[in-house]
């Protein structure tokens, strides 16, 4: 490690992020009760902690859960907004973004209209633009 590099925390959050999978199973009741924004705010707070600790498994789980909540609430503009927001976070792990792009690509078949589908594709193109590792995903969309 160079003297100018900030040491990364070795703390792993997997032990308490694992219950997020249980939280993910509850996404339908959350989205139906109008608590979507509260759930997203909570998950964004957890995502920041795991991202700063460079905990890839936990960050990936949280990001996938975030976009799944947006999709299950049928708020496609919120989904686009969150995808852009998460991709621009400082220090965001590239593998976590790749996983998010793959999951959102799976949502394309469930888009309610062609216009919504094209908006999601454009968002994914924006996220993957200039990223060498994501060129394959960009070509698929």
Q: Closest Cα partner for 77 from 119, 113, 27?
A: 119
* Cα 38 from Cα 139, distance rounded (Å): 35
Sequence spans of domains, the chain: 14-140
What is the percentage of the chain residues whose pLDDT exceeds 70?
68
The whole-number pLDDT of residue 5 equals 41
The whole-number pLDDT of residue 82 equals 95
Q: Closest Cα partner for 77 from 24, 131, 36, 35?
A: 36
pLDDT greater at residue 52 or residue 7 = 52
* Cα 121 from Cα 123, distance rounded (Å): 5
pLDDT per residue as tens digits for the range 73-96: 899 999 999 999 999 988 888 899
- Weakest-pLDDT range from 30-39, 56-65, 125-134: 30-39
pLDDT per residue as tens digits for the range 18-41: 455 555 555 555 555 567 888 888
DSSP line for 37-89: HHHHHHHHHHHHHHHHTT-HHHHHHHHHHHHHHHHHTT-HHHHHHHHHHHHTS
pLDDT greater at residue 9 or residue 81 = 81
Work out the burial of residue 19: count CB atoms within 10 Å of its CB; fewer than 13 is exposed, 13-18 middle, 19 or more buried.
exposed
6 has a pLDDT exceeding 50: no
């Amino acid at each position: 490690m160079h003297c100018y590099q900030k040491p990364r925390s070795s703390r792993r959050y997997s032990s308490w992020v694992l219950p997020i999978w249980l939280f993910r199973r509850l996404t339908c009741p959350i989205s139906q009760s109008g608590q979507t924004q509260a759930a997203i705010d909570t998950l964004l707070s957890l995502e920041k902690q795991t991202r700063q600790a460079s905990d890839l498994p936990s960050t990936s789980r949280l990001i996938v859960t975030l976009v799944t909540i947006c999709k299950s609430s049928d708020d496609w503009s919120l989904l686009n907004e969150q995808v852009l927001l998460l991709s621009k976070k400082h220090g965001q792990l590239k593998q976590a973004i790749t996983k998010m792009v793959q999951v959102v690509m799976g949502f394309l078949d469930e888009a309610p209209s062609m216009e919504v589908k094209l908006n999601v594709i454009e968002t994914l193109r924006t996220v993957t633009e200039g990223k060498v590792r994501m060129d394959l995903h960009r070509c698929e969309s």
